């Protein structure tokens, strides 16, 4: 009884603190702004609910600018009378009880529901994320109790929450899909363990239901289903026996029926949208990097790299190494799934997943990685070398503190990372601004390989010729200049730099002279205060070959910090050029 009360108090405390924090993070949110829960991708997941119950999927009844006002997470086409969202309805389905509750409260209180976009609905969606977070942690604790002492389970779930970007995607961006997938993963693991221990048919039906919901929310979650055959298997023979059991008509047919019923509303929506029952809604996105997966970038890049933003995952993997070294059961299934999700993320076209905090596609898999973290924690608790134990606990709490401080920084400042793939200078400044490292606020360099679309200086990057990655910049046909970089002097702090060394790789597809130049100006609005340029033609090699263009530019000593530095390609003949891998180094003294 005492143990049960202690567990209840623990989860009740997590719920209350999490709810207070998420409402604090959104205390200044307005109906239509990027700090709002119903914005961009989050609105794209949510729109199924107001579209169904307020607008009946009739685009003509919707406000003409609703898609723009909510950040472009969906689009309204009044010509075809269609509402277009690329996301599936799974998140909306799980949010629906809170959506209905908000409607009831609005009706009782006589408050304008604003067709599902009032502040009450926003608060209820924040509540939904917290509820599913706590339920996910509770299911995960129940699952871990099969393998570890209760204190280990409490320690693991608390640090999985506080020490990873699960914290951010529960309390700051809670309407993204990840906290819902995390709950389903945790529930699946708990039900899976019970099923393998007792093998009840009702348990199998529940597993099929949870797995189908996970697939609906993120189709790549199919990897979770592999655990049905491998978890606690011990030998290949057990895996084969489970495959045979799953393929029995009484089992396989039930799985297909449940999967079909869960996806049926989605099929109906795709039919409404495209005229086809099956529809790839992500358009030009997809697994464009399948032939050359960006594995190092996914794991280590300053642009949302897994370890760069959730270093505690290194401890999870240390526990995985311990499991493999000591031949603990389930080590290889966890290792296999981690490699698979890494490969899937690295093969996706936008491998950094846009405006994200870390590699958010790993969040649901933290439920599985909590197992090796549990073994590492149990080993740490049993270790009698107190100096080693102290150091490792310090590292664990340091990594947790890193995540919490960085999350607070994202709440206060910019939520997108405006740096290039390997621009560590920008990353260090971001970490310093979060109060994690001292100093580091002076800009030493700028890099842009034009892979991070948040940092793109033009509206449409090119994929015709690229030196690295998927994108480059093509010179614009309509005017005689193509922007590469701009920044105000006050971004550098006083005294600002005295010189810039600019490097860019340029490709000329034709043989004719271009007359183009690598140029720089110092502007007050549209007025050019100072400028310089270097002709490009003499730096170029043979046509179709990438050549490095270099230039050193002096920044004059001026007193107006509002002046803007602009670097661009001046192209009076409108010649076609491709530019990639820009790098700018700053010198603050003449020495």
69-108 burial: b if 16+ Cβ within 10 Å, else e:
bbbebbbbeeeeeebbbbbbbbbbbbbbebbeebbeebee
Residue 89's nearest CA partner among 209, 267, 259 is 267
Distance CA(317)–CA(369), nearest Å, equals 8
pLDDT in tens, the chain (591 residues): 556 777 889 999 999 999 999 988 888 777 777 666 678 899 999 999 999 999 999 998 998 888 888 888 899 988 889 999 999 999 999 999 999 999 999 999 998 888 999 989 999 999 999 999 999 999 999 999 999 999 999 999 999 999 999 999 999 999 999 999 999 999 999 999 999 998 899 999 999 999 999 999 999 999 999 999 999 998 899 999 999 999 999 999 999 999 999 999 999 999 999 999 999 988 878 899 999 999 999 999 999 999 999 999 999 999 999 999 999 999 999 999 999 999 999 999 999 998 889 999 999 999 999 999 999 999 999 988 889 999 999 999 999 999 999 998 887 777 788 889 999 998 998 898 888 888 666 888 999 999 998 888 887 899 999 999 899 999 987 778 999 999 999 888 888 899 999 999 999 998 889 999 999 999 998 899 999 999 999 899 888 999 999 999 999 988 888 999 999 999 999 999 999 999 999 999 876
| pTM of the predicted model as reported, rounded to 2 decimal places | 0.94
Delimiting residues of CATH 2.60.120.260 domain(s) in the chain: 445-587
What are the phi and psi torsion angles at 463 (to 5°)?
-120, 10
Q: Return the H-helix or E-strand segment holding 502.
A: strand 499-507
- The number of residues making up the chain comes to 591
Q: Return the H-helix or E-strand segment holding 207.
A: helix 201-217
Residue 255's nearest CA partner among 294, 198, 291, 201 is 201
Q: Are 542 and 508 in contact (CB under 8 A)?
A: no
Distance CA(93)–CA(264), nearest Å, equals 13
> For the domain with range 445-587, which CATH number is right: 2.160.10.10, 2.20.25.240, 2.60.120.260, 3.40.50.300?
2.60.120.260
């Amino acid at each position: 009884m005492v143990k049960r009360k202690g567990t209840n108090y623990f989860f009740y405390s997590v719920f209350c603190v999490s709810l207070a924090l998420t409402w604090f993070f959104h205390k200044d949110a307005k109906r239509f702004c990027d700090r709002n829960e119903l914005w961009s991708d989050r609105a794209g997941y949510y729109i199924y609910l107001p579209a169904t119950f307020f607008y009946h999927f009739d685009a003509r009844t919707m406000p003409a600018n609703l898609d723009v006002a909510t950040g472009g997470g969906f689009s309204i086409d009044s010509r075809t009378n269609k509402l277009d969202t690329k996301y599936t309805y799974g998140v909306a389905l799980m949010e629906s009880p809170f959506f209905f509750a908000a409607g009831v409260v609005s009706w009782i209180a006589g408050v304008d529901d604003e067709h599902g976009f009032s502040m009450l609905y926003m608060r209820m969606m924040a509540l939904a994320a917290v509820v599913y977070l706590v339920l996910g942690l509770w299911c995960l604790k129940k699952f871990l109790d099969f393998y570890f002492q209760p204190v280990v389970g409490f320690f693991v779930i608390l640090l999985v929450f506080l020490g990873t970007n699960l914290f951010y995607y529960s309390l700051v961006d809670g309407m993204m899909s990840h906290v819902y997938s995390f709950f389903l993963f945790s529930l699946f693991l708990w039900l899976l363990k019970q099923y393998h221990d007792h093998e009840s048919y009702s348990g199998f039906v529940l597993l099929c239901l949870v797995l189908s919901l996970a697939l609906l929310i993120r189709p790549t979650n199919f990897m979770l289903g592999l655990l049905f055959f491998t978890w606690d298997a011990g030998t290949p023979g057990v895996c084969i026996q489970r495959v045979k059991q799953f393929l029995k008509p009484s089992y396989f047919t039930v799985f297909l029926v449940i999967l079909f019923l869960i996806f049926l509303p989605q099929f109906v929506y795709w039919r409404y949208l495209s005229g086809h029952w099956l529809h790839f809604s992500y358009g030009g996105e997809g697994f464009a990097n399948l032939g050359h997966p960006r594995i190092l970038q996914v794991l280590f890049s300053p642009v949302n790299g897994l370890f760069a933003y959730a270093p505690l995952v290194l401890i999870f993997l240390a526990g995985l190494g311990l499991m493999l070294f000591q031949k603990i059961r389930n080590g290889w299934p966890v290792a296999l799934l981690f490699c698979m999700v890494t490969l899937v993320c690295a093969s996706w076209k936008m491998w950094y997943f846009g405006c994200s905090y870390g590699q958010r596609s790993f969040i649901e898999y933290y439920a599985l990685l909590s197992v090796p973290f549990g073994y590492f924690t149990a080993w740490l608790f049993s270790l009698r070398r107190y100096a080693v134990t102290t150091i490792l606990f310090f590292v664990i709490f340091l990594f947790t503190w890193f995540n919490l401080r960085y999350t607070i920084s994202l709440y206060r400042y910019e939520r997108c990372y405006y740096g290039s793939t390997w621009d560590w200078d920008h990353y260090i400044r971001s970490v310093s601004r979060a109060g994690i490292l001292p100093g580091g606020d002076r800009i030493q360099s700028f890099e842009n390989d034009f892979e991070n679309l948040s940092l793109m200086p033009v509206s449409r990057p090119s994929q015709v010729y690229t030196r690295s990655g998927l994108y480059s910049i093509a010179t614009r046909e309509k005017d005689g200049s193509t922007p590469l970089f701009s920044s105000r002097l006050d971004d550098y702090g006083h005294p600002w730099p005295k010189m810039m060394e600019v490097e860019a790789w340029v490709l000329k597809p034709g043989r004719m002279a271009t007359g183009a130049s690598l140029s720089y100006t110092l502007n007050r609005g549209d007025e050019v205060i100072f400028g310089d340029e270097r002709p490009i033609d003499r730096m170029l090699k043979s046509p179709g070959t990438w050549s490095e263009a270099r230039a050193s530019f002096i920044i004059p000593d001026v007193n107006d910090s509002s002046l803007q530095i602009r670097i661009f390609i001046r192209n009076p003949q409108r010649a076609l050029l491709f530019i990639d891998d820009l790098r700018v180094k700053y010198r603050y003294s003449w020495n």
